[in-house]
Each structure stands twice: as structure tokens, then as C-alpha cells.
Amino acid sequence: MAFRSAVVTFPGSNCDRDMAVALEQVSGTAPKRVWHGDAELPEGLDFVALPGGFSYGDYLRSGSMAANSPIMRSVKRAAERGVPVLGVCNGFQVLAEAGLLPGALMRNAQITFVCRDATLRVENAQSLFTSGYEAGQEIVIPVAHHDGNYFADDETLDRLEGEGRVAFRYLENCNGSARDIAGVLNAAGNVLGMMPHPERAIDPAHGGTDGRALFESAVRSLVDA
């Protein structure tokens, strides 16, 4: 069965092509390209990706305007139906602003843009996004952001920890994120937001392939299902 995915592009997205290439390389099928102003996602999707970039120029707050784009109503409905949704970097910010994930992404603690490889530890290897990793495995994924400082109140952080919803954690915190959190899952486990860019680590030419298992995990779990 073919893997049916879509990549949403907002004004200011700059990683949408990278995401589309990653999905096609891993699944063998090119994703549908969806514009932020579209009212509906294509029918029958197995996977939706919100890419990195600077949607609407990060006006007001990073991701806040994109979260109110027409297409996000359809993305929310898809997530509620159980369709997997991945938000990377600006996509994570959009998911948080849209209420699909708890917390918020604030300005980096050092108030500078950070662009480098980051070593992560896989905290949850049982989700559809992370089943290709081992719990505790250390992976290297690039980061490139100015507003990646994950914040939530202590009660929310305790709940995320207790429910196993922290997907990835920084081994060396690069932005001030609470409890070194690099990626979180929703309660149902079908929505993942992460600041690091797995789509930039799927080919040896990228300097590493540690991001490939995330896409392979999703494709395998959905195609097998």
C-alpha cells in the first residue's frame, strides 16, 4: 500500500522542500504539497508534516499566525481522527500555538540564533515516530532556530514526563528548554513536535543519517497497519 503524505507550506516556510524530499526518499512516494490557504487536506492521508521556516516572518509570535491559517482547521481535524502529524522547528511552534501540543516555544535563552548539530537522547521509543530507535539511544540531529526554548509550567512538565510524552531530550541544552526537552508528543501519540530537523539527517551526504529512522518508523507503522 502506498504511503500517502502531505507537506504544508506557509508564507515563509523554507524547509518544506527538504521535508518533501525526505518523505519521498523514505516512502518512495512524493507527498502532496498543500498551501496554507487551502481549506482542506487531500483525502485519505496517512501523514501530515508541518515544516521549518519563519511562517509569516515570525510576526507576533513564531507560529502564531500560521496556527490560524485556513488549512490548520483541517490539520486539527486530521489529528483528532488519529492521522499522524509531525511538526519540525517552526512546525513545532505552529502545533503549540494551535493547541495541538502543550507548552510554548520562546526566544532562545542566549538570545541568539543557534545552528549546529545537537546530540539528543531518545526518551520514548514506543511511538509511531520513534519505534525505529532504542530507548536511551543517542542520535545527532541538526538544529537551526531562534525561538526553540521550550516552556511549560511544572504541572504540565510533570504530566509529560509521567505519561512518557517527552520524545527527545538534548544532552547539551542549546536553547534553554525546560528539562532539556527537544520534542514532545500529544496524549494520543499521533502528534510530534520537535525543534531539531530530522529531514536534514537522512542521507550520508548530509553528514549523518540519524533522522532517517523517524521517517522509516512512521512509514513502516502506517503501511504495516
Q: Which residues, 6+ apart, have CB-to-CB distance to 39 below 8 Å?
A: 70, 71, 73, 74
Specify whether 97 is catalytic. no
C-alpha span between 195 and 144 (Å, rounded): 8
Asked whether 116 and 94 are in contact (CB, 8 A), the reply is: no
Specify whether 174 is catalytic. no
Specify whether 199 is catalytic. yes
DSSP letters along 120-145, please?
Answer: EEES---STTTTTS-TT-EEEEEEEE
User: Which residue out of 15, 36, 174, 199 is catalytically annotated?
Assistant: 199
Q: Which residues, 6+ apart, have CB-to-CB distance to 116 below 8 Å?
A: 142, 143, 174
User: Which residue out of 15, 89, 97, 145 is catalytically annotated?
Assistant: 89
User: Which residue out of 36, 97, 145, 197 is catalytically annotated?
Assistant: 197
The CA-atom distances, in angstroms, between 7 and each of 13, 30, 34, 121, 137 are 11, 10, 6, 26, 28
Residues involved in catalysis: 89, 197, 199
